[in-house]
Amino acid sequence: MNVKYMFSLIAVIVLILIAYVGVEAAGLQVLFGIIIPYLAILTFIVGFAYRVMDWARSPVPFRIPSTCGQQKSLPWIKHDKIENPFTAGGVIVRMFFEILFFRSLFRNTRCGLDKGTKITYIWEKWLWLAALAFHYSFLTVLIRHLRFFLEPVPVCLQWLENVDSFFQVGLPGLYLSGAVLLAAVTFLFLRRIYLPQVRYISLASDFFPLFLIISIAITGILMRYFTKVDVVGVKELAMGLATLHPTIPDGIGSLFYVHLFLVSVLFVYFPFSKLMHMGGVFLSPTRNLPNNTRAERHINPWNPSVKVHTYKEYEDDFREKMIEAGLPVEKES
Amino acid sequence: MSELPKSDEYFSNIDFTPPKTGWMDTPTVIRDGMFCFAAKPKSVKTLDLPYAREWNPKHDDWKLPENWKEIIYEGMRDRLDRFRTFKIFMDICVRCGACADKCHFFIGTGDPKNMPVLRAELIRSVYRNDFTTFGKMFGKLGGARKLTFDVLREWWYYFFQCSECRRCSIFCPYGIDTAEITIIGRELLNLLGLNIDWIATPVSHCYMTGNHMGIQPQAFVDMMDFFVDEIEVCTGIRVKPTLNKKGADILFVTPSGDIFGDPGTYTCMGYMILFHYLKEKYGLEITWSTYASEGGNFGFFTANEVMKRLNAKMYAEAKRLGVKWILGGECGHMWRVIHQYMGTMNGPADFLEEPVNPITGTKFENAKSTKMVHIVEFTSDLIKHGKLDLDPRRNDHLKVTFHDSCNPARGMGFFEEPRYVIKNVCNNFYDMPVNCIKEQTFCCGSGSGLNASEDMELRLAGGLPRANAVKYVNDKHGVNMLACICAIDRAVLPPLMGYWVPEVDVTGIHEMVANALIIPGEKEKTVNLRAEEIPDKESDPDGYYVRPAFSGR
């Protein structure tokens, strides 16, 4: 088992060293500050779009939603419009809860074997909570970073920052999102290590993004609270990238380039990996279709024509016996 | 399945701890009691499916065609292009593990390859190797592996240890449906002629004689006649079932298993009594068919084309007989096929009318395209409108719980209709705990064609979570009857209960309906369809009645 996370851990350490040495010893600021970020963004956008279009290219031959509530049937039976949607509107609400609140994950329970006599299903919402905390804090961090790319900084970003730094601890204000992100991603990592079943199914590609994100969060936190990176310089570089007039200002520490490089790696890695669940969740046919196949015919574009055993052939096989048993037949002999 | 330990001993030996070796390095051993026999060549040949031959899963030589790897590779490529589900489900799993302990086969065996996520990884690993850049670059470290004979064996073993129940899929944050993966896995195996006989032979029977059991038309009539006699003994009424009748109002199709084996036969008699009642009282004519005498569809467990070939008979027969619409009996996967596939595959059924209940005037809006109504929808509509004279006290000796069959539960959302009918035909109903019913219901352990006898250990292990929930209501409320709306359930739950909860018996809902139904002209009923005495209210004033041992098995 060790080899899987050790490989991923070493891979991330090597990436950190590459950026550090590249900037510190070889002076490759242009490479790490301009070329790689541009390539990364390009790879991300093209790759993401390609993957989604590739999925969409395959048809959905059958309408097979998993139903999690009462179907629409007789008028006096209460229909569960969200968990078992009958209309596109119902599907939108179902997807809303699925995507924004991880509805299915919220169902989670843990199975236990109680002294070999009873099976128990224990309330288990930690995975749901950690997943929600992780995704929302990551989103907040991402949005917060827009301040580097926008001038003037929009007022809504200011609000977000004010809320995020609600717990002011000296200066600069402590961002809640950063702390939650690090805590949640660490929980997800520890879960992979300590739960025997999850450890058993985990691949190197499950650990790699975790280490990557942990490292991104740590380098970010280090820059903000400890090494005090030159924020003005960073903003100048970011604005340069955003306005397509890239520059490399002097005096930004190499920690920043490590941070930026790891983010670039994450962007490049994204479309090739399981992180594509971000796009896939929208397209999953068991969730994004209404359960109304008996009321509205679903069309399969490749519906095959098949050979069937017709009634005529059947009667030919059994005519004598059918007549003898008193069954009506089409042809008497 | 000769030497199974006692149930409590079996239970205490279940261990969820995964082995020390990684799953790719843990060889699969095909173990007796856990697998079904190979398909007989004759059955494979009937439908002109490829590579019909004698082979044995336990041998090292499966007599595969020379280019079998190429066939699988092409088969996967083709299905990635035809099924968005397959493509997305191969790509987006994050291995969060939420599904891991949701599978009844995992809970009952502790075998990590029965965790839904690993079952999918068995095929996903080959997908990565053959179809993704990262898989090609990083190999085993990237979770990829080459397709070898051992991998194929592993696929075969574990895709026939999944009952396509979809319980895991409702817990998956992306809706990854292991049933879909298993279905496609089995399609791939069928490209090499690697079906199991318990599926292939019923499929071939169904194709030629109209039903899985291979009952020929005259034998079908004989069995109906036998039921007519039985019903007369119990009710004093001689019912006259209609067969293959042109111009009937409605065609009725139900699984042939109910014609064949107890306790399904009682459900079948239940249908016959209900139809007699509706004809006498309301003049409604419902016909059975010997050509379309199978509701179930083991083609669904073979390949989607085979499913279509078997399913086509229902519409063909409805058209030939000129009925208005089709009524479907109590069955699980039959209803998944009808509800989610039939209209798409064999529709549009524009030669039929939009289904209306002629007795109540209710339009079945939810079935207006496929034009098939579930008999429990139909009966609950009749009850709601007061069209059935029922005496639920006749079922007072029963304390009933209800097993939601996987397919109507997670493929339709069929929860309240059956409960409504049960509560109207018997007075004591107790649901099992919430984690084990409705959308979270547990499989009987024998679905998707795994209800053979040679894999009995697998079935009893897979059925443990269901049985354990039944035991809970048996302990708590004295439940003695497990009701269900599935022919496979009726066939497999009796041995499952026999092993885990012997106090509990199994029934279809329409058996209870018929026992409660007051038929015009009936004699004073003293026995029910099982020839058991109906409890006498006066000698049992508290309504407490211990059910006599059932001898019908």
pLDDT score recorded for residue B63: 97
pLDDT band at B260 (very low <50, low <70, confident <90, very high): confident
Q: Is it true that the peptide bond before B433 is cis, omega within 30 degrees of 0?
A: no
* CB within 8 Å: B175 and A66: yes
Averaged pLDDT of chain B:
94
Contact B520, B508 (CB under 8 A): no
* CB within 8 Å: A202 and B244: no
pLDDT score recorded for residue B141: 86
* CB within 8 Å: A74 and B417: yes
A308 has pLDDT over 60: yes
pLDDT score recorded for residue A170: 62
pLDDT score recorded for residue B536: 64
Tell me what the mean pLDDT of segment B291-296 comes to.
95
Contacts of A56 in chain B (CB under 8 A): 84
Contacts of A196 in chain B (CB under 8 A): 16-18
Task: Measure A257 CA to nearest chain B CA, in Å.
Answer: 26
Nearest CB to B84: which of A7, A76, A283?
A283
Please provide the DSSP assignment of A5-32 as one string.
HHHHHHHHHHHHHHHHHHHHTT--HHII
Contacts of A203 in chain B (CB under 8 A): 95, 142-143
pLDDT band at B537 (very low <50, low <70, confident <90, very high): low
pLDDT score recorded for residue A158: 87
The two tokens of residue A200 are 């058993």
Nearest CA in chain B to A115: B12
Task: Measure B5 CA to nearest chain A CA, in Å.
Answer: 14
Nearest CB to A306: which of B94, B291, B309?
B309
Contacts of B122 in chain A (CB under 8 A): none
A to B CB pairs, distance under 8 Å: 326
A325 found inside a domain: no
pLDDT band at B236 (very low <50, low <70, confident <90, very high): very high
* CB within 8 Å: A66 and B435: no
pLDDT score recorded for residue B548: 39
What are the φ/ψ torsions at residue B287 (nearest 5 degrees)? -110, 145
- The closest alpha carbon to B297, from B257, B268, B262, belongs to B257
Nearest CA in chain A to B417: A77
pLDDT score recorded for residue A333: 73
- Neighbouring CB atoms inside 10 A of B97's CB total 21
pLDDT score recorded for residue A3: 83
B531 has pLDDT over 90: no
Helices (H), B160-256: 167-171, 178-191, 197-209, 217-235
Contacts of A116 in chain B (CB under 8 A): 8, 11-14
| Orientation angle between helical segments B149-159 and B116-131, nearest 10 degrees | 150
pLDDT score recorded for residue A4: 84
- Neighbouring CB atoms inside 10 A of A122's CB total 10
* CB within 8 Å: B85 and A51: no
Give the CA angle between residues B140, B142, B147 to the nearest 5°: 50
Nearest CA in chain A to B99: A108
A48 has pLDDT over 70: yes
- Neighbouring CB atoms inside 10 A of A307's CB total 11
Nearest CA in chain A to B215: A318
* CB within 8 Å: A196 and B18: yes
Contacts of B341 in chain A (CB under 8 A): 62, 293
The model's pLDDT over B103-125, given as tens digits with 9 standing for 90+, comes to 999 999 999 999 999 999 999 99
Contacts of B129 in chain A (CB under 8 A): none
* CB within 8 Å: A286 and B177: yes
**Interface with chain B: mutation pick from A7, A293, A296, highest number of B CBs within 10 Å:** A293
Collapsing DSSP to helix, strand or coil, B363 comes out as: strand
Alpha-carbon span B210 to B295, nearest angstrom: 10
Partners of B495 in beta bridges = none
Nearest CB to B344: which of A102, A286, A299?
A299
Nearest CB to A108: which of B16, B98, B436?
B98
* CB within 8 Å: B173 and A102: yes
pLDDT score recorded for residue B543: 45
Contacts of B345 in chain A (CB under 8 A): 300, 303
* CB within 8 Å: B347 and A297: yes
Task: Measure B535 CA to nearest chain A CA, in Å.
Answer: 33
Nearest CB to A197: which of B100, B173, B345?
B100
Task: Please tell me the number of Cα atoms within 13 Å of B369 on its side-chain side.
Answer: 20
A312 found inside a domain: no
* CB within 8 Å: B366 and A78: no
A230 found inside a domain: yes
List of residues 6+ apart from A156 with CB closer than 8 A: none
A329 found inside a domain: no
Number of domains forming the structure of chain A: 1
DSSP code for A225: I
A217 found inside a domain: yes
Instruction: Report the CATH number that the domain containing residue A247 is assigned in CATH.
Output: 1.20.950.20
A42 has pLDDT over 60: yes
Nearest CA in chain B to A203: B143
A45 found inside a domain: yes
* CB within 8 Å: A73 and B245: no
Bigger pLDDT: B365 or B552? B365
pLDDT band at A171 (very low <50, low <70, confident <90, very high): low
The model's pLDDT over B89-105, given as tens digits with 9 standing for 90+, comes to 999 999 999 999 999 99
Tell me what the mean pLDDT of segment B523-539 comes to.
77
Alpha-carbon span B70 to B75, nearest angstrom: 8
- Neighbouring CB atoms inside 10 A of A106's CB total 17
Give the CA angle between residues A224, A230, A234 to the nearest 5°: 95
Contacts of B175 in chain A (CB under 8 A): 66, 98, 104, 281, 284-287
Contacts of B364 in chain A (CB under 8 A): 73-74
| Rg value, chain B, Cα | 24
Interface ipTM: 0.94
Alpha-carbon span B447 to B300, nearest angstrom: 12
* CB within 8 Å: A318 and B216: yes
The model's pLDDT over A275-285, given as tens digits with 9 standing for 90+, comes to 999 999 999 99
* CB within 8 Å: A58 and B83: yes
Contacts of B244 in chain A (CB under 8 A): 327-328
- The closest alpha carbon to B123, from B81, B183, B165, belongs to B183
* CB within 8 Å: B170 and A127: no
**Interface with chain B: mutation pick from A71, A81, A206, highest number of B CBs within 10 Å:** A71
Domains defined for chain B, CATH in brackets: 13-30+50-194 (no CATH), 210-384 (1.20.1050)
Tell me what the mean pLDDT of segment B391-412 comes to.
96
- The closest alpha carbon to B333, from B183, B476, B197, belongs to B183
Collapsing DSSP to helix, strand or coil, B325 comes out as: strand
A133 has pLDDT over 50: yes
A309 found inside a domain: no
* Percent of the residues in chain A that have a pLDDT greater than 70, as a whole number: 98
The model's pLDDT over B442-491, given as tens digits with 9 standing for 90+, comes to 999 999 999 999 999 999 999 999 999 999 999 999 999 999 999 999 99
Task: Measure B355 CA to nearest chain A CA, in Å.
Answer: 11
B437 has pLDDT over 70: yes
Contacts of B101 in chain A (CB under 8 A): 110-111, 197
Alpha-carbon span B448 to B437, nearest angstrom: 19
pLDDT band at B539 (very low <50, low <70, confident <90, very high): low
A330 found inside a domain: no
Note down the domain range covering A52: 2-302
The model's pLDDT over B312-326, given as tens digits with 9 standing for 90+, comes to 999 999 999 999 999
Sign, CA dihedral B83-B84-B87-B88, equals negative
Task: Measure B231 CA to nearest chain A CA, in Å.
Answer: 20
B40 has pLDDT over 90: yes
Alpha-carbon span B52 to B192, nearest angstrom: 9
Task: Measure B524 CA to nearest chain A CA, in Å.
Answer: 32
Tell me what the mean pLDDT of segment A293-321 comes to.
97
Averaged pLDDT of chain A:
94
Nearest CB to A295: which of B169, B369, B409?
B369
Contacts of B218 in chain A (CB under 8 A): 318, 321-322, 324-325, 327
